[in-house]
Structure 1
């Protein structure tokens, strides 16, 4: 499984990252991008227009399926259960956000252990750093967008300081590493 998080500048980064992914990628992808709780869920249709993979809004109890990109709905934390189905939660905000990247990353790490890749993109908070740290503790990989390339470097810098990275690079190199992870 590949889990991706971002905030400020995240949609633009995804519009560059997703088209670079192999359409035969043998990994499920879940994404949290910070949006307002009352924002319409337009991101799936925007991303699907350029993505090599199908993109949909995650729903409660939706099975995690390889080759499909699922986006966290606004106002809900997105979690991956041990049964490898998605769950939605309206628990308290984490790092002032719901959905929270940390929540997705930690739950995916617990469900997938060493078979998960966490990818942290541009953003203006530290959300995702602790989740990425947990993914690494459980044997998964941590990929971080190069801070110099990020629209806002706060999020990637926080992750580098708190979690470290298996790869810190521009988006093109992150896509190549994801494609290598998900080869059939």
Structure 2
């Protein structure tokens, strides 16, 4: 990815969402967390959520009057979709979805042979796919699972996403 000073660079913290338009790049760093990017090519508006856990610990019938919390998958996706809808940039027929993260942060040497990834990573990935299906958003690209962390950079004006995967 070329480095230039014409793009506004935003850092997305864990448990947050960000939307932007134009010459903007949103960047985040993932381990077992998940980032989902949504981009409307006609509007050239997009956003990213970075959630930590698939479910809120008090889920199923919880928090009727509590604010949504982007640390959790369903809340993060709801907040991201609502933010894009508010900007007139959410249409499942054209919105492009991409999915990243869910890496195991333990060294492969510390995991017994034949043991799958930790359920946390698997659950985060599974819930992300289910949420995208719920919103009728096909996954255009993904880089999930495995070992190590990923740096994700989402360029809003083009919809391109760059990944730097650092395996353990």
Q: Larger Cα Rg: Structure 1 or Structure 2?
A: 2
Q: For the superposition of Structure 1 and Structure 2, which TM-score range results when normalised by the shorter chain?
A: 0.3 to 0.5
TM norm structure 2: 0.32
Task: Point out the structure with the larger helix share.
Answer: 1
TM norm structure 1: 0.30
- For CA contacts below 8 A with separation 6 or more, give which structure has more relative contact order: 2
